[in-house]
Chain A
């Protein structure tokens, strides 16, 4: 009897969680967490951001209406708090794509800002950006190039004046900062059963929903946001 009850409630909980995890706020939270924890830039969630903004605007209007109509201030402030949180999430999501703060130090690892040269020359990465982000990156690159050119490169001998290559005899860009993808991340499966092929083992790693593992980023790279979320 006790077992039955237990089973029943977990199934219900699962259903409830599945339902909850599909609300836009939860989706945005997940996208935000993924973006924060991934060592490289991820696909811009254009539709999600659009929906979130529409909803935020709706709540904003509602709050204003409430304030105007002399509604109970406590209720209004609860709405306001919810609104603030949603707004923080949205801002932080957009921000974290430009600039990532590493948890273990005061210094910032700038995402788009840091790897602008790398992202720009790689079509696959460039397409993960939103249009305004692309314009931003392009400007950043121009500004940085101009600054470096003025301060250093113009003072160097002819064959050594490229910002991307060490010298004229370099065959590829060998001065572009690249993100360190060969790194471990903590991840959690969002589906009931996920199997991950590991690099150094014959047996795949099997994860059930909510299992947390610590794996190499590149083995789960294409599963992020689909079967696996980063934590």
Chain B
């Protein structure tokens, strides 16, 4: 059945939670590209058959013409599904660059495992592009994501951040579960990586 596999591939994007990645489905993707190649072979052989029969492919409307057309259309549909799959995942990756971190190792391992090799490269290249834009503007754009109410916020450390981190010229011991009163801009990178949480109220 034409196009059924591709449909499954696209469904992986839509059934998952929004903005969440499923593991990259290499197997299914390859099956769809295989179907594309099969479509193409049939398409070519039908065209050749018509040429052998001395028919003009542009004007003849016989069974072979429509057979070829169907293969062409299902190939295009498969291509669109493949592109949609990769493109939508790439958008989620762009989002990760913004929200989580510019370095691949800053991503939680569960997410890293779900990326394909090419996607990891794409992550690196995209964050490099963003970084070079930010350095040209001489301004970090991935901090300060929510409008500031107060320049200082209260945070709790959730993980072993390690010692020796210097925020605004002051070194502090960020032991797990300790609470601190920090500048919002200093704390934001840690909050987005899930290492600290903001305490409200």
Q: Is B157 an interface residue (CB 8 A)?
A: no
Please indicate which of the listed interface residues A143, A151, A157, A160 has the most CB atoms of chain B within 10 Å of its own CB: A151
Binary interface encoding of chain A residues 31-48 relative to chain B, with 1 for a CB under 8 A from any of its CBs, else 0: 000000000000000000
Of A81-89, A186-194, A201-209, the stretch lying at the interface with chain B is A81-89
Interface 9-residue window, one of B48-56, B80-88, B104-112, B174-182: B80-88
Contacts of A98 in B (CB 8 A): 130, 133, 141
B18 at interface, CB cutoff 8 A: yes
What is the chain A residue whose CB lies nearest that of B43?
A157
Select one of A90, A92, A108, A160 contacting B95, CB under 8 A.
A108
Contacts of A144 in B (CB 8 A): 87, 90, 122
Interface residues of A in 142-168 (CB under 8 A from B): 143-144, 146-148, 150-152, 155-157, 160, 163, 166-167
Q: How large is the interface on B (under 10, 10 to 19, 20 to 34, 35 or more residues)?
A: 35 or more
For the complex, give the distance between the alpha carbons of A92 and B148 in Å: 12
Q: Contacts of A197 on B, CB cut-off 8 Å?
A: none
Residue A107 interfacial (CB < 8 Å): yes
Pairwise interchain contact B151-A94, C-beta atoms closer than 8 A: no
Does B130 lie within 8 Å of A156, measured CB to CB?
A: no
Q: A151 near B86 (CB under 8 angstroms)? A: yes
A118 within 8 A of B: no
**Chain B: minimal CB distance from A118 (Å):** 13
B132 at the interface (CB under 8 A from A): yes
| In the bound complex, CA of A92 to CA of B82 (Å) | 33
